[in-house]
Structure formats: structure tokens, C-alpha cells
Chain A
């Protein structure tokens, strides 16, 4: 029988690492997007 994942410390630790990595990547994507908007804002704004 396969042990339940939520009782396996190794899987728990791996899950925590994966979540942290996923959140980090998502935060990076959002950061790049927001920085792009801010930098575009300064250049594109005056044309409108």
C-alpha cells in the first residue's frame, strides 16, 4: 500500500519546497510585469 503523502515527512518537506519555489517564481513574474508597466508608464504616458 502506498503511504499517505500527508503522513510522509519527506513528501511534506518536498511539498513545502515546491510551494516556496512556485511562489518565488510567480512573485518574480509579477515583479517583472509591474516594473515593465512602471517603466512604460513614464515613456508612453505623454503620448496619450
Chain B
């Protein structure tokens, strides 16, 4: 039976009452507004920034700093879910979110976002320092206003510029630990910033029909799959040297060099495969209920045209997550274990 959305105010019209399968909003639905999966990545990169600074900080204050960054990220997620409810309702990846599913009112999501934004920035400022608080406030505003309300619906470069919001947590972590944000903090930001386009474009190659349906001008929708594949390769060629750069600036050590170098080779190989493939030329042949993170591909023919390229796009998408995780895990491990950093001559 189709479920009739029921808002958390628990107000039912007589028709609703007769036909709805009612599920009242639980606290978990409000937690989902904060995009916990994104929050976990933000926590990880922020913690890496905090520890890679290699400056002693009281453990409790360090934990509070990471907590503030996580709550700030959750707040911007809630604001995004409020503003983008119309788009989310049209895409299979997002239509189950609490606002389009009718579990939480948009105004409640917005209120949650604003309140958590204020609390996280104020706590960061009072407990840690105001540079970290300022960077956190900038990140929230950039994601919720510049990306969500402006870039996302306006330009195919939305995730390129908007990616800055997701890239900033390591710099906030570093600023929280030291009170300043030097070159190495911004190098970590640059890595995530340049990683974002090939990561998201690989995904958008196989769900571009969803984006088109929702009217979001993602690159494959606006410029086509071929141009997207070319841009993925170009960004990957710039990304990998930047990922290796920390061993020249005194940020990464031998472990990091091995991970960034070997992983970079795999990344470039996968990016080349996407470039040489037909990924995005045809609609994703998988059933609509398949998990987007499922990378296996039966690659059946669609309208007589091979669509095996979708597998290449999914492989790059999946590996890009692993690569970023491995890079930051290597930096984190080196910082925690006190391993020596390299400062190779250029």
C-alpha cells in the first residue's frame, strides 16, 4: 500500500486518516537530517587535520572541536535538506529523506539547522578559538547558502566550487589545535577540493537521468557524458600530484608517500578507463532499487548499445572514496605514531 506522507505535527485530513500507513517522526528521523554518513567523513578529515598539526591540545578540547565540526556539518546538512526537498523528492537516491518522505516538516529541518549552526559556532569560539569558529561558520554558510541555494541549481560547476565546503574540515581541525592555518592545512583542503569533481562526476555519470529529472545542472546533463569523462581525467591528472605534494612540504611521511603514490596510480588507471569508456552514454541499466555504492555491473545491452562503461564509472566512484580515506588514514597514523615526516626537495 502506498504510504501517504504524514507530517510530524501528526495532523491528518479525514482522507489521510482513512488511507495512510502512518509513521510518526522519531528522533532518528531528525538525526538523519544531519546526513550522518557525510558527518562521519567530516569527523575523520577534521580529526586528521587536528592531529596532523602535531600540536598538543587537551584531549577534551580536541574532542569538543571535532564535535563542533560534526554538529556544524550536520546543521548544514539539515539546511540543505530543508531547501532541497523539492529536488530530493524527484531523485531515487534522496526521495527517502525525512523531508520529502513527509516525516519531518521543512520548517523543522530549517530550525534544526539554524539552531545547531549557532550552537556549534558559539561553542567552538568560546571553547577552542575564534579562527576555528570563523572557518566553521564560513563552511556552514558556504554549503547551505552558496552551494545549496545558488550554485547547485545554477551551474554545472556546482560541485567544483561547492566542494570547498566539504574540503574545509581539516583546516578547521588544524586551526582548532594551533590557532592558525598554515600551508599544510590548506594543502589538505586542496586535496579534498580537487578530489570532489572526479568523485561526484563518476557518480553522476550513472545517475545523470535522476539529476536531469530533478533539473539539477550536473555536468553530464549540461555538457554530456563525453565532456564529463574528459573532465574527470583532467581533474585526476591534477589531483594525484597534489595528493603526493605533502611529502615535499613536511606534512606526510614514507607511509603517506606509498599510499598516495600507489593509490594515485590506481586512481589514474581507473580515470583513464572511464575516459576511454562509454560511461554515461546510456541510462544506468540497473534496477531502481539498487544501492548506488554497489559497484558490480552485469553490463547488459540497452537498446543494442553496450553500457559496460557504467562499471568503469562505478569503479572510479568506489575507489575514490577508498583513496581519500587511505590518504587521510596514512596522515592520521603517522601523526598518532609520531612517524617522521618527509621534506623531499623539489
Contact = CB atoms under 8 A, between A and B. Distances in A.
A12 to B, nearest CB: 8
What is the predominant secondary structure among interface residues of chain A facing chain B? helix
A13 B25 contact: yes
Interface residues of B, number: 16
A15 to B, nearest CB: 10
A13 B26 contact: yes
Interface of B: 10, 22, 24-27, 30, 58, 60-61, 64, 67, 119, 123, 126-127
Contacts of B64: 31, 35
Contacts of B126: 35
A39 B127 contact: yes
A20 B61 contact: no
A24 to B, nearest CB: 9
A28 B67 CA distance: 11
A35 B61 contact: yes
Given A28-B119, A31-B64, A16 B27 contact: yes
Contact of B61 (A13, A21, A32, A38): A38
Contacts of A14: 10, 24
Nearest to A18: B27
B27 A17 contact: yes
Contact of A35 (B24, B27, B119, B127): B127
A10 B10 contact: yes
Contacts of A21: 27
A34 B60 contact: yes
Contacts of B127: 32, 35, 39
Given A9-B24, A17-B30, A20-B27, A32 B123 contact: yes
